[in-house]
Chains A and B, each alone.
Chain A
Amino acid sequence: MYDLNKILVGLAIFLLFFTFPILYGMGSAVPVPKPKLDTPEIQKLIDKKCVEDTHFMKTSHMQFLNYWRDKAVRDDQRVYNSKLNGKKYDISLQNTCMKCHSNKKEFCDSCHTYASVKPYCWDCHIEPKAAKESM
């Protein structure tokens, strides 16, 4: 084979360059985020439950928020009957979700930053004041 050494050196450089992001981050694994739930509003709750069960909210809150959005904006149905406890909730991101989860930075952002997703909710919706002040 011609120029075996040159090719091997080239390959090595290429591999190093290509795997650099993985090698660079090795050993410094970011811990899996744990969204904080201790806000004054949640502390006040006797039955510390979200509008639906935790597993569902963890896995499907994005679809659920879209569902809420369409219900309120397009169908003008602004009350949600929880399947979890039969309670009625106002369908509103700013006035229901964020009233309890007033710690956007430790709640929403902790996972979203980890997963590198950038939801555009906050382009329009106003985040709770407490979170803003601590920023």
Chain B
Amino acid sequence: MKASRREFLKLAGVSALFGLGANAAFELLTPGALEASSEVAHGTAHGEAAEGVHAATRWAMVIDVRKCILQEDCNDCVLACNATHNIPTVGNPKEEIKWIWKDTFEHLFPDQHSQYVDEGLKGKTFPVMCNHCEHPPCVRVCPTKATFKRPDGIVMMDMHRCIGCRFCMAACPYGARSFNWRDPRKYFEGKEAMLNPEQPTRTKGVVEKCTFCPERLAKGLEPACVEACKKRKSDCLIFGNLNDPESEVRKILRKRTSIRRKPELGTQPSVFFLV
């Protein structure tokens, strides 16, 4: 059969109409189903758990700022982390590597900067680390899935896959990520005894950050910083499962007022500060 130009145009027109109407037909018959399925695909594509699926565990950290600022010279949590994860002391602040670090209230909460900052808080430093966000912007932008969100809420780094593009650093609103501008082994030259033989270092050209010590969690231990804080009996760092209503973190969050960094961004941090 030889289709005339007129026949062809008619058929094309009808097909186009059907194509345009298909989405509407789906909406009419199964409202929301089409969008939901694409959303799930999108979520998993970025390594995020699909909305509504409730994981048994969501690890979270609570930092008792009131208690911590009493221990002015204490740096135990930072030192414990550095020693555990072989984090070098770089010196140059532009190239420094930090997983957990201490800073002032004014710097960490610029959005909550009251005209009259509490005298007790002024100039005092307390620890801060990766927020392990519910909706991590770093994970969304990572082109190689080197950083991904685990079902238990930990935003993990796979150093084997990191290509050092630093998109994640640009995306992170908290400055929690550090780039290895140089080979970190260089900073351990002559100090090899300081290296923790159970953990790797990183290499030049990868991004690193706090990981909530998954290798310790697997053994039933708490993160290294929490352990160091408890050893000192300061108890400023409380670690636990946010999805367990009877966990230590949930108990203290019920009792005390907590704030999170830049909540307006909707990233839903898992690090809480008691003020």
Residues of A within 8 A of B (CB): 69, 73-74, 76, 78, 92, 94-95, 120, 123-126, 128-129, 132
With CB as the reference atom, state the residue of chain A lying closest to B203.
A123
Q: Is B192 an interface residue (CB 8 A)?
A: yes
Instruction: Indicate whether A78 sits within 8 Å of B203 (C-beta atoms), given known contacts A69-B160, A73-B156, A126-B197.
Output: no
Residues of B within 8 A of A (CB): 86, 148, 150, 152, 156, 158-160, 183, 192, 195, 197-204, 214-215, 218
**Are A124 and B198 in contact (CB-based, < 8 A)?**
no
Supply 6 further A-B pairs (C-beta < 8 A) apart from A76-B214, A126-B195, A126-B197: A74-B156, A76-B150, A94-B199, A120-B203, A125-B200, A126-B200
**Are B197 and A132 in contact (CB-based, < 8 A)?**
no
- Bound-state CA distance A33–B156 (Å) is 39
Question: Which label, helix, strand, loop or mixed, suits the secondary structure of the A interface?
Answer: helix
25 contacts between A and B (CB under 8 A): A73-B156, A73-B158, A73-B160, A74-B148, A74-B156, A76-B152, A76-B214, A78-B218, A92-B198, A94-B197, A94-B198, A94-B199, A95-B198, A120-B203, A123-B183, A123-B203, A123-B204, A124-B159, A124-B200, A124-B202, A125-B200, A126-B86, A126-B199, A128-B197, A129-B197
Question: Which label, helix, strand, loop or mixed, suits the secondary structure of the B interface?
Answer: loop
Chain A residues with CB under 8 Å of B183's CB are 123
- Bound-state CA distance A92–B199 (Å) is 10
With CB as the reference atom, state the residue of chain B lying closest to A75.
B150
- Bound-state CA distance A69–B198 (Å) is 15
Chain B residues with CB under 8 Å of A129's CB are 197
Distance of B178 from chain A, by nearest CB (Å): 15
**Are A74 and B158 in contact (CB-based, < 8 A)?**
yes
With CB as the reference atom, state the residue of chain A lying closest to B160.
A69
With CB as the reference atom, state the residue of chain A lying closest to B192.
A132
- Bound-state CA distance A78–B159 (Å) is 17
Chain A residues with CB under 8 Å of B152's CB are 76
Interface centre among A76, A128, A132 (most CB of B within 10 A): A76
Chain B residues with CB under 8 Å of A76's CB are 150, 152, 214, 218
**Are B203 and A124 in contact (CB-based, < 8 A)?**
yes
**Are B215 and A78 in contact (CB-based, < 8 A)?**
yes
- Bound-state CA distance A120–B218 (Å) is 26
Interface centre among B201, B214, B218 (most CB of A within 10 A): B218
